[in-house]
Structure 1
Amino acid sequence: MYDKTPVFPHQQHLPWAHEPLKSIYVFQRLLTTLLLVPLWAIYYSILPRSFRPRSSWSVTQIVVVKFTKRIYKVTEVAGVTWGTRDPSHDPDEKSLKETRFVWVPPLPHELCTGIVNDDQVLPQKVGTFIWPRHSPLSIDVHQEALHSDAAKKLDLEANAADSPPHVIGLYLHGGGYCHMSAHEKSGTSRIPRRLMKDNLFQEIHAVEYRLLQHAPVPGAIQDAAAVYAHLVTHQLGALKGPDGKYHYPNSPIPYHADNSPTPYPTSASVPSISQEVVSSSAEAGHRQATQGHANTDRVAEVRRPRIILIGDSAGGNLVLALARWIRDEGVLPLPDGMVLLSPSCDPSHTLPQVPASRRPRPHADTDYLLDTPEPRALLSRTFLGHHPNDMVYSPYISPASEWVLSVFHGREEGMVDLEPLGPHKDSRDYHDEGIKTYDCAVNGTPTCPDGRSAANNPYIRVPQGMGLFTGFPRVLVVVGDAERLEREVVALERALEYDGVRVRMVWAKDAVHDVLIMATWDERVREGVWREIGKWVCEVEAE
């Protein structure tokens, strides 16, 4: 059990983070928790269901939540992290059965603008685990076919029932920016594994972004942006136009005033994931440059695959930050949709303006997440790195915080204003499988109010003519009504709705945080969530 992992700087002050005390503490915590398991099982088997944390929960569910919550305490006391790996190292190839690993080059200098431009945190190459291990009919081959006489035939074949769907996913795992990994053996990989099993995506690129142990803000955003930029420019064929922005080949915006085609980016401007991608892109660019305008008409014959950002917990927070950077900078095309699974959208509660203003998250008795003030604040300060604490109120970090909402929407609607939470609490609104789904109405006037100013916090930037979420792609949000992030997720949904974003909410009855990654839970509820995700992804693909 002896842990050889180095003690990170932000854990140096923890006595139990140093060996041999670390192993001693972890061993006794695990042992005592295992001893409590039969006691919990007996206790809740004897008591009436009304005494359980949620009456619908089985004894197994109760034990899982209590066990997980008790074990997670070792992170606060001994600085233990779960399921992590060094993002700068190659994985053991023998450990990969379902995915293939590739390196993506650092974010190109020309794209290092906005929040990703930092003189102390520099872009690095990024490891990516791609589902499935063996590439299907690849987008690169598809791109090459755009400029051949077989384009129509391939398009018809792609629409066949047994062909891969025209959807590419970019997955950002959860874990509070300090746990988990994109490796297929990580618990969070249950999400891309199931999405691929349901044949909803042609490929899913799981990003091994830098956790706070390795780089503070904006390291994770740089890594996610690098993979996204490489994906849209190399696999989806986005081209740089005369306006300095990238557009897909079938975009109605001309690349030049005379409609003459622009060659594909080369490996010199944006290095490729693999030599296969470079060669196919270069050949496609050569054909496009030599065959002229006739081929631009042919481009429209083949439908561009949709790209969807997927993130759970902290990964959902990172998805929101990535989408904001894409929108704010306006250089890369926006994704076609976002799937947010129990997204963390208000980390600012860990660093309140004054201690008395801190509001504990709800559902302490029904979720495994911890909310102890000091350890949470320590992780937030480590995540911010060299930036001052005020940056935690940036829309890139806490888009659903009261301060951000008051600046953009002219109202102080935060966690305190969302109690009670409304009709979703009524169990009669749920389907038989414990799922409630509804599309949120959009405001229709996504403008930025003139009431409050961001002048007192330079990290709250109001883009010219844009609201907090103006221009964001459509969103699917999954949340459990027994999880600790419930209120901030509701604040996020209302903010998205206010700015005209198409939002679909999926409520999982009596579900804890990030229920889809749990090893054991009520499969009736989880299957209901997976079905709703499948319907939504198919709608995005069909548009």
Structure 2
Amino acid sequence: MAPPKQAYQDDMPYAREPLKSLYVAQRLFTTLILGIWWAAYYGVMPRSRRPRPSWSIKCCISVNFTRRVYRVTELAGVTWGVRDPDAPCSNRSLKHTRFEWVDPLPERLRSGVIVDSQVPFKRVGCFVWPKERPKIIPSCPDDEPCSPAAETSSDDTLNVDIESAAEEPVIGIFMHGGGYCHMSAHENSSTSKIPARLMKDKAFTEIHAVEYRLLQHAPFPAAVQDAAAVYAHIVQRHQRHATKVTVTHDKAKPAEEDESGKAIKVLSDYLTVNATDYQERSKNKRENDEIHARVAVETANLGCKIVLIGDSAGGNLVLALARWIRDEGLLPPPHALLLLSPSCDPSHAFPETPSSYLPRPHANTDYLVDTPEPRALLQRTFLGHNPLETMHSPYVSPASMRVLTAFYGDAFAASVADLTIAQMDTHTRRFLRTMDSAPATPVPATPVLGFSVPAGLVTGPPTFASSAASTSDGRSPTSLQRPVIASPRGLSLFSEFPRACVVLGDAERLEREVTKLVGAMERDGVGVHTVWVPDAPHDVLMMGWWDERVRDTVWGEIEDWVLKL
């Protein structure tokens, strides 16, 4: 069943029939004709006349063709490669994956920005690579997917495995790209080239491609809810159980010793932590340190390594999920993030004034379009009922100038404002790491996201928190009814984030914002391995026509990084 017509399509000139069909038909026809012209033109002209001299004729045609097709979304609201997230998929129709349902996120884990009375928690479909479950992956009773909502005892007694597994599987959770309006997790989707290649090269034991809800089906935070449900599902499946150890919700007892004198690891129950209790206890640095130490123990007792993978908008979702896991402290963090041309500043479509809009770079070398009005319509639909200020939340636009200024101050924001790959050398990175995190003097009151702070009371990054009480609909103080820009535990923007591998082409339109992301992550001590792809457009690993030698080099670097985990 096709999704209902969205409100944003009412403002698009060719979104109504019969103009829609006529526009799409002529656009495709003229693009095919232009394809012949491009082949002849670039075949005759010297390489210096190509968008990048290193590009083959096939690369030139691929970028120009895709750019014209993407324009159809802006003017006619056409989406492609999508499927209904509520629809099942027969495993008989799948060659390389198996389809599984994951239960909705358990109520005990529902806290923070993902709680929204107008966005229900739902079960989530996953396309799991490979088709046959590897023997190292634990099976659940009756061969059914493990439910993260499985009940535990009412007391504080937990089952903990003392011995580590002989071999730890590396589990990937893949969030596909497509601007939150295109593509799907199905194995035939264009973005599925990414998990397919990672599995072919045996970089991962298993990859769960998440069929999260696109903006046509539900607004933010639906996609984060779906990603969190799959993450909790994998955590539940790979918990180790063997020896009983008693812990409390406040903190674990001191490490006991077995008969041989070896310390017994204690694992607290991160699947049954009460969200309200957590929020009341997470008020200061001491409790932040306790939570950090507890989560470290939980991670050590998790029988696998989890890597969050995302390309383009999927990278945006990976960053939001990693932030929710860190901020709420209810689940162990992932082992690493693999970000492929991540979208990290959607707020770019909402300039302070029309005259302050700065076009993204590389208009002639990338297929992404950058017209602010259509992008703003899509982003507004993505926000749904949430206030427009939510677009400047770290959960949506972590690399926006407003967020960077709030956390690090004007000096840092100015230093990364126009940073490019070519400028991201050792000297620049050392400078970014050693800068002051925020102004050293009190900051005057500044209304951001609907909040203000009394002048003279702020000596660090501004925090714009709501009252401690929950809202009338049961949403937590960090909910997006009153969005906040700071971490609820007073952390910096990317502190306590897992290590990351970031892939980015120096010919793509997201170069500036992704470079800001890398600078901010390195500033907060995150171990970032950057793979700069010369002359590559956006999300080059999922493109159909490109230089395979270039892509093989990138895949090699990614796989080496995964092996070192």
TM-score, normalization by structure 1: 0.80
Aligned-residue offset at 1:482: 0.1
For each residue in 1:315-361, what CA deviation from the matched residue of structure 2 results, as whole angstroms up to 9, or x when unmatched? Answer: 00000000000000011000000000000001111011222221111
- Once structures 1 and 2 are overlaid, which stretch shifts more, 131-140 or 172-181? 131-140
For each residue in 1:395-421, what CA deviation from the matched residue of structure 2 results, as whole angstroms up to 9, or x when unmatched? Answer: 000100100000101126559954462
8 Å Cα contact 2:128/2:206 also seen in 1: yes
1:178 aligned residue: 181
Aligned-residue offset at 1:456: 2.6
Match of 2:73 among 72, 75, 84: 75
Matched, 1:366 2:358: no
2:36 aligned residue: 38
SS state at 1:140 partner: coil
Matched, 1:105 2:114: no
Question: d(CA) in 2 for partners of 1:193 and 1:438?
Answer: 37
- Once structures 1 and 2 are overlaid, which stretch shifts more, 16-25 or 238-247? 238-247
2:511 aligned residue: 486
1:456 aligned residue: 448
For each residue in 1:36-89, what CA deviation from the matched residue of structure 2 results, as whole angstroms up to 9, or x when unmatched? Answer: 111111111111111111000011100000000001111111111010001011
8 Å Cα contact 1:351/1:380 also seen in 2: no
SS state at 2:564 partner: helix
- Once structures 1 and 2 are overlaid, which stretch shifts more, 413-422 or 398-407? 413-422
Aligned-residue offset at 1:93: 3.3
8 Å Cα contact 2:327/2:487 also seen in 1: no
1:501 aligned residue: 526
8 Å Cα contact 1:171/1:310 also seen in 2: yes
Question: d(CA) in 2 for partners of 1:196 and 1:340?
Answer: 17
1:115 aligned residue: 113
Question: d(CA) in 2 for partners of 1:406 and 1:471?
Answer: 20
Matches within 5 A, 1:20-31: 20-31=18-29
Question: d(CA) in 2 for partners of 1:300 and 1:221?
Answer: 21
Question: d(CA) in 2 for partners of 1:326 and 1:121?
Answer: 19
8 Å Cα contact 2:240/2:303 also seen in 1: no
Question: d(CA) in 2 for partners of 1:483 and 1:166?
Answer: 34
Matched, 1:443 2:433: yes
Question: d(CA) in 1 for partners of 2:429 and 2:412?
Answer: 17
Question: d(CA) in 2 for partners of 1:19 and 1:509?
Answer: 42
SS state at 1:528 partner: helix
1:276 aligned residue: none
- Kindly provide the amino acid, as one letter, of the partner of residue 384 in structure 1: L
Aligned-residue offset at 1:92: 3.9
- Once structures 1 and 2 are overlaid, which stretch shifts more, 81-90 or 443-452? 443-452
Question: d(CA) in 2 for partners of 1:366 and 1:190?
Answer: 22
Across the two proteins, how many residue pairs are aligned to each other? 480
Question: d(CA) in 1 for partners of 2:367 and 2:396?
Answer: 23
Question: d(CA) in 2 for partners of 1:124 and 1:172?
Answer: 17
Aligned-residue offset at 1:28: 1.1
Aligned-residue offset at 1:388: 1.4
- Kindly provide the amino acid, as one letter, of the partner of residue 443 in structure 1: R
Question: d(CA) in 2 for partners of 1:245 and 1:382?
Answer: 41
8 Å Cα contact 2:249/2:268 also seen in 1: no
- Kindly provide the amino acid, as one letter, of the partner of residue 312 in structure 2: S
8 Å Cα contact 1:454/1:461 also seen in 2: no
Question: d(CA) in 1 for partners of 2:94 and 2:374?
Answer: 34
8 Å Cα contact 1:130/1:204 also seen in 2: yes
Aligned-residue offset at 1:242: 4.5
8 Å Cα contact 1:447/1:466 also seen in 2: no
Question: d(CA) in 2 for partners of 1:240 and 1:62?
Answer: 62
Match of 1:219 among 208, 218, 222: 222
8 Å Cα contact 2:179/2:312 also seen in 1: yes
1:137 aligned residue: 135
Question: d(CA) in 2 for partners of 1:199 and 1:103?
Answer: 24
Matches within 5 A, 1:311-460: 311-411=310-410, 413=412, 417-419=416-418, 421=420, 423=422, 443=433, 452=443, 456-457=448-449, 458=451, 459-460=484-485
1:228 aligned residue: 231
Matches within 5 A, 1:4-23: 6-23=4-21
Question: d(CA) in 1 for partners of 2:395 and 2:404?
Answer: 13
- Kindly provide the amino acid, as one letter, of the partner of residue 390 in structure 1: E
8 Å Cα contact 1:438/1:506 also seen in 2: no
- Kindly provide the amino acid, as one letter, of the partner of residue 43 in structure 1: Y
Matched, 1:535 2:563: no
Match of 1:51 among 44, 49, 52: 49
Aligned-residue offset at 1:166: 2.2
- Kindly provide the amino acid, as one letter, of the partner of residue 199 in structure 1: K
8 Å Cα contact 1:446/1:467 also seen in 2: no
1:195 aligned residue: 198
Q: Which runs of 5+ in 1 are unaligned?
A: 159-164, 270-298, 430-436
For each residue in 1:207-250, what CA deviation from the matched residue of structure 2 results, as whole angstroms up to 9, or x when unmatched? Answer: 00000111111000000011101111223449998455999xxx
2:541 aligned residue: 516
- Once structures 1 and 2 are overlaid, which stretch shifts more, 63-72 or 24-33? 24-33
Q: Which runs of 5+ in 2 are unaligned?
A: 142-158, 257-262, 275-297, 452-483
Question: d(CA) in 2 for partners of 1:331 and 1:194?
Answer: 32
8 Å Cα contact 1:440/1:503 also seen in 2: no
8 Å Cα contact 1:414/1:488 also seen in 2: no
For each residue in 1:422-451, what CA deviation from the matched residue of structure 2 results, as whole angstroms up to 9, or x when unmatched? Answer: 6469xxx9xxxxxxx999669389966666
Question: d(CA) in 2 for partners of 1:468 and 1:30?
Answer: 44
SS state at 1:12 partner: helix
Question: d(CA) in 2 for partners of 1:338 and 1:176?
Answer: 19
1:476 aligned residue: 501
Question: d(CA) in 1 for partners of 2:338 and 2:300?
Answer: 28
Aligned-residue offset at 1:130: 0.6
Question: d(CA) in 2 for partners of 1:188 and 1:508?
Answer: 18
Matched, 1:64 2:62: yes
- Once structures 1 and 2 are overlaid, which stretch shifts more, 22-31 or 409-418? 409-418
- Kindly provide the amino acid, as one letter, of the partner of residue 225 in structure 1: A
SS state at 1:461 partner: coil
2:87 aligned residue: 89
Percent identical among aligned pairs is 52
2:469 aligned residue: none
Aligned-residue offset at 1:31: 0.8
Quickly say closer, same or farther: Cα 1:417–1:228, change in 2 above 3 A.
closer
Question: d(CA) in 2 for partners of 1:50 and 1:530?
Answer: 28
Aligned-residue offset at 1:9: 2.9
- Kindly provide the amino acid, as one letter, of the partner of residue 38 in structure 1: I
- Kindly provide the amino acid, as one letter, of the partner of residue 309 in structure 2: I
8 Å Cα contact 1:405/1:413 also seen in 2: yes
Quickly say closer, same or farther: Cα 1:35–1:386, change in 2 above 3 A.
same
CA RMSD in angstroms comes to: 3.6
2:478 aligned residue: none
Question: d(CA) in 1 for partners of 2:303 and 2:428?
Answer: 26
Question: d(CA) in 2 for partners of 1:456 and 1:410?
Answer: 14
Matched, 1:525 2:550: yes
Aligned-residue offset at 1:489: 0.5
Question: d(CA) in 1 for partners of 2:3 and 2:448?
Answer: 41
8 Å Cα contact 1:447/1:465 also seen in 2: no
Aligned-residue offset at 1:109: 1.2
- Once structures 1 and 2 are overlaid, which stretch shifts more, 511-520 or 237-246? 237-246
Quickly say closer, same or farther: Cα 1:52–1:136, change in 2 above 3 A.
same
Quickly say closer, same or farther: Cα 1:123–1:376, change in 2 above 3 A.
same
8 Å Cα contact 1:404/1:460 also seen in 2: yes
